[in-house]
Structure 1
Amino acid sequence: MEKKEDRRIERTKDSLRKTFKELALERGYSRVRVKDIVEVANYNRTTFYVHFLGKEELAKELIEHEMKDFVHEFCKPLRDNPVLDLRQMSPSGTDVFHYIKENRSYYDLLVCDDPIPDINRALLRELQDIFQNRMSFVGDQASEINAQYFIHYRSYGIYGFILEWIRSGYDATPSEMARRIINLLYYHSPIMEQISENT
């Protein structure tokens, strides 16, 4: 019985998150009210407040939920092979850009005029965390290319690639985007290794 209850709760929260994303993209974050969310999702305010303290908590949970999935997809190649040779990596070996395009209802929010607070910083923070704590480069210059300033360089570079791809209406295929990122990462060292399995 408890699992059935848990599934019902998760379905309700999924519906509220989905509706919130749609309204934030259509109207802008600041113009979305709890009243709007529950009316469109066909719930009442009491149901909303059982799950969330307010719009801000819903937004925070939405970002956390999406970033967890983003990190899972981004780090997938290293889970399959803890030491990765980028020279041998096929663009089809990463699914992160397929994931982004399939979840454009979230990622389009990164480039809207009135975005959810912290949505952009959250993506950048996750990219920085990946290169700080989850994967690193191997080679003669490893200490330099794994230094903080290079972590920022890579993180901002990939973040910029993603934003421009979204702004351009996903004009390149996910495989082409993967190829570009592989080239960006390969620039200083072709070998990457997994630091943490917490991906």
Structure 2
Amino acid sequence: MTDEHVLDRRARRTRQALKSALVSLILDKGFDSVTIMDIAARADYNRGTFYKHFVSKEDLLKEIHDEFLQGIAELLVKPYEGLERIEASMTYPSGLRLFEHIEQHKDVFLALSRVERGKLAMDMYDRLRESMRKDMHIEMEPTEPPIDYEIMLSYRMSATVGVIMHWAEVDFKYTASYMAQQLMVLVETKMDYIVFKRNGGT
């Protein structure tokens, strides 16, 4: 292994330690209260090491944010590499990868949610919709009137993000597999009828 590879690996390890430190500090006391010294100390480095890698805590937060969203976008199509098309009933693998990614990075998700509030949900929506536009096309059954593709895409991505946010609200009490199954069923099932509870319904 060359010296350059050793340095690259060491730099990646240092950057990851600083990211993990910021995430844990946000969950402990909130982003505004965190200092550069706090981050460096939590990661077991000094301030000088922090500034070798990041300009500010905002710069560090942005990299955490961007990496999290990039992971989401890549997972949508990864299960189908080499395939030209799939049936709509075969979308479970991408949903599972999506929920597993969030489950594995739960602390990052919670930290970003705390700092950015509604921005994270909107950014996930934008990234998922853009990935759907770029990497695949959904063929719909004919309807009358015809379904507007962009409205349909917005509807589906909004629903996906809504389900993710609900999962967080209930403290991730369901497994990633269960959430992926629920999302697939929700997307595929048509409503039967609606009962109005105030008008005598049960």
Q: For the Cα contact (< 8 Å) 1:136–1:146, is it kept in 2?
A: no
Q: For the Cα contact (< 8 Å) 2:23–2:108, is it kept in 1?
A: yes
Cα distance between partner residues in 2 of 1:146 and 1:183: 22
- Distance change >3 Å, CA 59–CA 4, structure 1 → 2: same
**What RMSD over aligned residues (CA atoms) do the two structures have, in Å?**
2.6
The alpha-carbon deviation at position 4 of structure 1 amounts to 0.8
Instruction: Pick the structure with more strand per residue.
Output: 1
Cα distance between partner residues in 1 of 2:147 and 2:33: 43
Of residues 44-53 and 168-177 in structure 1, the stretch that sits farther from structure 2 once superposed is 168-177
The alpha-carbon deviation at position 184 of structure 1 amounts to 3.8
Higher relative contact order (CA 8 A, sep 6+): 1
Cα distance between partner residues in 2 of 1:91 and 1:31: 40
Find the structure with the greater CA-based Rg: 2
Aligned residue in 1 for 2:173? 171
Normalization by structure 2: what TM-score?
0.80
Between the aligned residues of both structures, percent identity stands at: 26
For residues 48-197 of structure 1, what are the structure 2 equivalents within 5 Å?
48-79=50-81, 81-90=83-92, 94-112=96-114, 114-115=115-116, 118-141=119-142, 145=147, 147-186=149-188
Q: Any gaps of 5 or more consecutive residues in structure 2?
A: 191-202
- Distance change >3 Å, CA 120–CA 94, structure 1 → 2: closer
Q: For the Cα contact (< 8 Å) 1:19–1:40, is it kept in 2?
A: yes
Query: What code does the residue aligned with 1:6 have?
Result: D
The alpha-carbon deviation at position 95 of structure 1 amounts to 2.2
Aligned residue in 2 for 1:25? 27
Q: For the Cα contact (< 8 Å) 1:91–1:179, is it kept in 2?
A: no
Give a deviation string over 1:25-80, Cα, whole Å, max 9, x none: 22122222212101111111111111111011111111111112222223223325
